[in-house]
Amino acid sequence: MNFSPSNIIALCVLTLCFFAGGALQFVGLLSLTQSNYVALLLIAAYLVLKPIRIRLDRSEIVLIVLTIYLISGIFLNGSRPENVAVYIYYVFCPFLAVRFAKQALASNASISRVFFPTLFTFLLVQLLVTIFQSSFAEELSNASAVSVIPIDIVSGTFYLASDGSLSAFCILACISTLWTDLSTTKKIIIFSLALSVIGIANSKAFQTLAPILAAWALIEAKLLRGRNSLFKGFILVLGATLIAVVSYEAVFNKLGEFGAYLYDIYDFRYGDNRAQRLAPLGEIFYSPISWAGKGALTYYNPITKEWLYNAGFSLIYMFYFDYGTIGLFLVLTYFLTLTLECAGLSLRSMTLFFIFFVFCAFSPAITDLAFIIAYTFTCTLVKRGRLSIDSVRSPKSLYLTQVSTLLPAAK
């Protein structure tokens, strides 16, 4: 490795986000927000040391439109300027984190040599740490300098209470490995480690979806690639359609029951100090549509620690209640554009966006630097619908390879 100042800074960013952040927060040296501030300053320093790219990507243009809309909330929904400033910080997180991930990936031509050993070692460390955390959750919760309940203590080496981020990283590692040309043995090792960590962590959403997403990734890799892929895809769609036709009545009954459940938990959302997790969804469905929202930091104010009603963090809840349907549409459009920009238009990119959507439903997501870096990295590797570890190089080396293959033909 070339230990240039920029590479050392990049290593510090990754260490803080993926290894040391949780420990520093546990002992009280940094809060979660302070950890992000330090990471963002390091990322800014890294980008300054690299050639500055003036051209904006499509996703960044969407992010600028979102930022303008957030600022206009001062006039549209009565947002206070200091609360809007917090949202400006929110959008700076993905802007800098995505640029960092893209630049770091483009600058590193040795991914093929370190991909498996690095991922294997990282997941093994997460497994050992999560086993320890789950075994001594009560003790660790009491010893933590930052208030964290025992159920949220299992976060591996990620930030405290980041079990969702850890689980999302593991499912990204799991399905992207299934899409590589690694040997079957290596795939099984990564697959087993990733699913084991998800099983120990307390993210119920990913515990439920992980086996389904892994099975889909395997089907996509084995059945929907190569010869006769179009015919195989047609058979798969036909089979899914037949199942839907046969079971539509049961599905509609379940949807009706779920709708009634949402109404009940919405109706009694103020019944205690902590609303049920889906209570805001009940309000979204059973209240008039909110186009511009109720103002920045209405759902949760990190400054005063006040909730609209305490139903847990969610990017969807935050943007809908604070900035309405328009704000929610813009932030989801940004992440969809980022996914398509990095991964191209394919079943794989849509699978990755689905993972993001699940994650953002139960997490702030937009300020989760570890997830954003890992997500951008994974999407970039899936570019053009293939993920070949042997062929992963920086854009410059890819260009040189293409030129070298064309030169003999020119002769």
Tokens linked to 147: 């208030």
Say if residues 148 and 172 touch (Cβ distance below 8 Å). Answer: no
- pLDDT the model gives residue 384: 44
- pLDDT the model gives residue 265: 59
- pLDDT the model gives residue 198: 95
Sign of the alpha-carbon torsion through 97, 206, 21, 29: positive
- pLDDT the model gives residue 222: 73
- pLDDT the model gives residue 255: 65
**pTM (two decimals):** 0.86
Q: Could you give the CA distance from residue 220 to residue 96 in angstroms, rounded to a whole number?
A: 32
- pLDDT the model gives residue 166: 96
- pLDDT the model gives residue 407: 43
Tens digits of pLDDT across the chain (411 residues): 567 899 899 999 999 999 999 999 999 999 999 999 999 999 999 999 987 777 899 999 999 999 999 999 999 999 999 999 999 999 999 999 999 999 988 776 555 567 778 899 999 999 999 999 999 999 999 999 988 999 899 999 999 999 999 999 999 999 888 888 888 898 899 999 999 999 999 888 899 898 888 888 888 777 766 666 666 666 766 776 777 677 767 766 666 766 666 666 565 555 555 567 777 777 887 788 999 999 999 999 999 999 887 788 999 999 999 999 999 999 999 999 999 999 988 889 999 999 999 999 999 999 999 999 999 999 988 874 445 554 444 444 433 333 333 344 443
- pLDDT the model gives residue 408: 44
- pLDDT the model gives residue 274: 57
Q: Could you give the CA distance from residue 285 to residue 254 in angstroms, rounded to a whole number?
A: 17
